[in-house]
Structures are given as structure tokens and as C-alpha cells.
Amino acid sequence: MKDWHKPKLFISRCLLNIPCRYNGIGAPDKIIDKLEPYIEIVETCPEQAIGLPTPRETLRLVKIEEGIRLLKSNNDEDLTESMSNFSKDYLCNLGEVDGFLLKGKSPSCGLKEVRVYTSIKKGSISTKGNGLFASEVIKLYNGIPIEDEGRLKNFNIREHFFNRIFTLSHFRYVKSLRNITYLIRFHSNNKLLFMAYNQKELKKLGNIVANHDKKEINELLKDYEMQLLKVLSKTPRYTSNINMLMHAFGYLSKGLSKEEKAFILELIEKYRIGKVPLSVPTNVIKAQAIRFKENYLLSQSFLEPYPEELMDISDSGKGVSH
């Protein structure tokens, strides 16, 4: 079995099934249960951390002239300053993490989909926004993967998140070695994965690692890291994945019979029309790379960018389409 560098992940405490929610229970999540053996967890409950009891009154985000406030829904007590100060302090001391998994829809931890009311009164109109803690996470950890547990039910979003946290965690290890040889190897082993993500940004990453300006290692790693976050910022388009598969196929095609070539191309076409997930043509290419001892391909992270035990194509009803 491959040795994985465990991503360091911040997780909202209730998602670990710790009973810290307003109603005195946790919010267990199957994906997080599966992830647990493969990650290093840091966790907290921002609402408990600012001294609120459990169970407790529900909180509400309310938009007033001065901005968005976090209020207790029974008596209007304003917790905004307290939550903002805690969040800034906590996050400034958290250090490097490879990603955040936050509890969706919470006025503290939720991302984008949290109700923001126009008044504390019941039945008032609402728009949507980020929870207060989540807003600070977004400000301070720009470029780092940040998701909520609800979005991870979608296969494509989950795969993108896993790709990123495992790649970033590996990079964190490479960074700790402060040696260009390891950086070059990391870059080389991830080339096809990065190609699927963003070919244009990959070129810039290649220029950084070539180090024509002879930068010293710390500066080089810093530049590389910033560009790496850009490369991985958006979910790969299926056309880029096909481009990457065809590139990998090119390494094998000499040794394959006409029928074998046709079979692989047919699988790539099935992926194109959404009939099979990316893992199907990828695994067939992997099998052929093993057969032909094609070491360059076998070293490529795209063959298994995260532990295959986490691979689960189930989806929130959207199938395996692009």
C-alpha cells in the first residue's frame, strides 16, 4: 500500500459527532468517518469556544446598516465581536493546514448558504451568506481548499477536494525537506494531474521549478506554492481530463494491439459522454502501464491522487456526469 502524507484538516467539531450543537447533539457524517484514518484532524466548536453552553439558544445572522451581526435569536444579544475576535485569534495560531471542512448552514461555520435575515423577528426575509467563523477562514486561508460536508456529497466536488488536500499535504512534506531535488521529483510526479487541472498555469509552475533565476530554496518553494494553489484552484474540466488521458495513452500505444487501443479509446469516449467516471479509463491505463513497466506513467499521481479506499462514485443524485 502507498504511503500517504496525512493532510492536516480543520473540521467543525460537531461533524466529528461530538455533541456540541445548539440542540445538544453532533452531526455525524459518513464521508468524514471514512476520511478519519487518512488525515490529521484539528477541530473546534467556535460557539462553545466563545463560552456558549450546550444545548443553547439558536443564533442568527442579521444584516443591519453597520453590516452582518451574529445575534441570539431569543434576546438579540450581539455576539459578533466575541465571535470575530475568537476566529481571528484561533486562526492566526492554527498554522499550516491543507484544508477546512466546515458544517454547512451554521451561522458560525457555514459557507455561502447560511441564511442572513433582515431582522431578528420570526418570518423576516433572508438572503444567503457565510457564517462568521467561515468568513474569517476564507479571508485568512485564501487558496486553501474550504468545503462544507453538504457539498462533499457531490462526487466531482469531493474528488477535487481530495485531490487538493492530498497534493498539498505531500507538498508540505516536500517543503519541509528544503531540497530542490525533491521539489523537481514532486513536480515531475504530479505533471499529468496538473495538466488535467490547468495546462497554462502548469507551464508557469514548470518555469518556477526550472529556476533560471537561481533563487534560493526558500524563495523558490514560496513561489512554487503560490503557483501550485493557482493550478489546483478550479475543478478540472472533463476536456482537460481527456487531454491528459490521451497524453498518458500516448506512452502506451506502441505496445498495444489494434483491439486494445480501440478498447481504451472507447473507454475514454465513454468518459467523455458521462457513462463512466474518470477512474475507469485511468485504471485501464494503469494496468497497461504495469504490463509494460512504463515507469514514468507509474510514477504519476493521477493514477491514484488520493487513497483508493476513499474512492466512492456515489453522488447526490447527479451521477458521474461532468
Instruction: Name which position in 5, 7, 20, 264 contacts ligand SF4 (CB under 6 A).
Output: 20
Shortest Å distance, C-beta 133 to ligand SF4: 7
Instruction: Give the single-character DSSP code of 78.
Output: B
Shortest Å distance, C-beta 103 to ligand SF4: 3
* Spatial CB neighbours of 65, under 8 Å, sequence gap ≥ 6: none
Does 13 help bind ligand SF4 (rule: CB under 6 A)?
yes
Our CB check for ligand SF4 shows the closer of 55 and 274 to be 55
Name residues contacting ligand SF4, limited to 35-64 (CB under 6 A).
45-47
Report the alpha-carbon distance of residue 207 to residue 74 in Å, rounded.
Answer: 58
By CB neighbour count within 10 A (0-12 exposed, 13-18 middle, 19+ buried), where does 239 fall?
exposed
Our CB check for ligand SF4 shows the closer of 59 and 157 to be 59
Name residues contacting ligand SF4, limited to 92-111 (CB under 6 A).
103, 106, 108-109
Q: Which helix (H) or strand (E) holds 42?
A: strand 40-44
Does 281 help bind ligand SF4 (rule: CB under 6 A)?
no
Shortest Å distance, C-beta 127 to ligand SF4: 20
Shortest Å distance, C-beta 42 to ligand SF4: 12
Buried/exposed code over 159-169 (b: 16+ C-beta within 10 A; e: otherwise): bbbbbbbbbbb
CA distances from 34 to 28, 141, 169, 310, 312 (A): 11, 25, 18, 7, 10
Report the alpha-carbon distance of residue 132 to residue 41 in Å, rounded.
Answer: 21
Q: Which stretch binds ligand SF4 (CB under 6 A): 12-20, 73-81, 170-178, 292-300?
A: 12-20
Please tell me the count of residues contacting ligand SF4 according to CB under 6 A: 12
Our CB check for ligand SF4 shows the closer of 106 and 167 to be 106
Neighbours of 253 (CB within 10 A): 14
* Spatial CB neighbours of 292, under 8 Å, sequence gap ≥ 6: 252, 255
Q: What is the CA radius of gyration of the chain?
A: 22
Our CB check for ligand SF4 shows the closer of 52 and 244 to be 52
Report the alpha-carbon distance of residue 13 to residue 101 in Å, rounded.
Answer: 10
Mask 227-246, x = binds ligand SF4 (CB under 6 A)?
--------------------
Our CB check for ligand SF4 shows the closer of 149 and 223 to be 149
Shortest Å distance, C-beta 144 to ligand SF4: 18
Q: Which stretch binds ligand SF4 (CB under 6 A): 14-22, 30-38, 227-235, 258-266?
A: 14-22
Does 114 help bind ligand SF4 (rule: CB under 6 A)?
no
Report the alpha-carbon distance of residue 160 to residue 158 in Å, rounded.
Answer: 5
Contact positions vs ligand SF4 (CB under 6 A): 12-14, 20-21, 45-47, 103, 106, 108-109
